[in-house]
């Protein structure tokens, strides 16, 4: 009888350890990278390079918020590629365990409301909301050409209309603000009102 009880406790202990170990461990083979937001030097008005950061209040990814900020590290999990390969497509995480996702921007983001196209804000959170329209599982790192000998590995997203790419852009977080929100659109969607197209380099 005592042996039976101990066997039962052992089974319960094993079951508890399996449940406790359910969360997926970090992908230790995936390259880590910061998100460096870069405007082309030929952009009218200004050109700069800043590391993106996560607003701790909203989870939104913003640019030019903290002077001297050196970036946070992210990685993309992709079991279909060789370990260590920078060319990836899949869910993206910060090393602090928040997951990245693109959430549709509420309200028009174009010059002529109502918006006829969808624009997205890049965010990170401990848990991706289950709201309709959120994109989360096809972040990509791809090669991007910015003309001449300019280019490198850049962040994109893969949808049926935008294979491995799309376009990131920035808009002021408020009228006249020097802090910008980092947003994304599909290739065939016109530029958002008041936006500047950017490259988000990962190397």
- Res. 37: pLDDT tops 50: yes
pLDDT band at residue 40 under the 50/70/90 scheme: confident
- Spatial distance between the Cα atoms of 11 and 15, rounded to a whole number of angstroms: 6
- What does R_g of the chain's alpha carbons equal in angstroms? 21
What pLDDT score was predicted for residue 38?
93
Model confidence over 75-134: pLDDT tens digits? 999 988 888 888 899 999 999 999 999 999 876 555 455 556 789 999 999 999 988 899
User: 6 — phi, psi (to 5°)?
Assistant: -65, -35
Query: If you search the block for the tokens 């359910």, which residue do you land on?
Result: 22
- Res. 9: pLDDT tops 90: no
**pTM surpassing 0.95?**
no
- Spatial distance between the Cα atoms of 77 and 75, rounded to a whole number of angstroms: 7
Model confidence over 142-188: pLDDT tens digits? 888 887 778 899 999 998 776 667 899 999 999 899 999 999 998 88
Q: In the 8-state DSSP scheme, what is residue 135?
A: B
Between 27 and 186, the higher pLDDT residue: 186
């Amino acid at each position: 009888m005592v042996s039976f009880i101990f066997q039962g406790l052992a089974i319960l202990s094993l079951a508890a350890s399996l449940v406790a170990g359910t969360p997926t461990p970090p992908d230790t083979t995936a390259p880590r990278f910061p998100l460096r937001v870069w405007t082309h030097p030929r952009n009218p008005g200004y050109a700069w390079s800043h590391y993106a950061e996560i607003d701790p209040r909203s989870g939104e990814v913003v640019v030019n918020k903290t002077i001297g900020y050196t970036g946070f590290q992210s990685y993309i999990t992709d079991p279909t590629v060789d370990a260590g390969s920078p060319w990836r497509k899949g869910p993206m995480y910060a090393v602090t365990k928040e997951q990245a996702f693109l959430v549709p921007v509420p309200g028009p983001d174009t010059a002529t409301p109502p918006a006829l196209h969808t624009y997205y804000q890049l965010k990170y959170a401990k848990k991706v909301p289950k709201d309709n329209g959120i994109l989360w599982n096809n972040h990509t790192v791809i090669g991007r050409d910015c003309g001449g000998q300019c280019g490198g590995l850049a962040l994109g997203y893969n949808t049926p209309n935008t294979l491995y790419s799309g376009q990131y852009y920035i808009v002021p977080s408020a009228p006249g603000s020097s802090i910008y929100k980092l947003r994304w659109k599909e290739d065939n969607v016109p530029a958002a009102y008041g936006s500047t197209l950017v490259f988000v380099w990962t190397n």
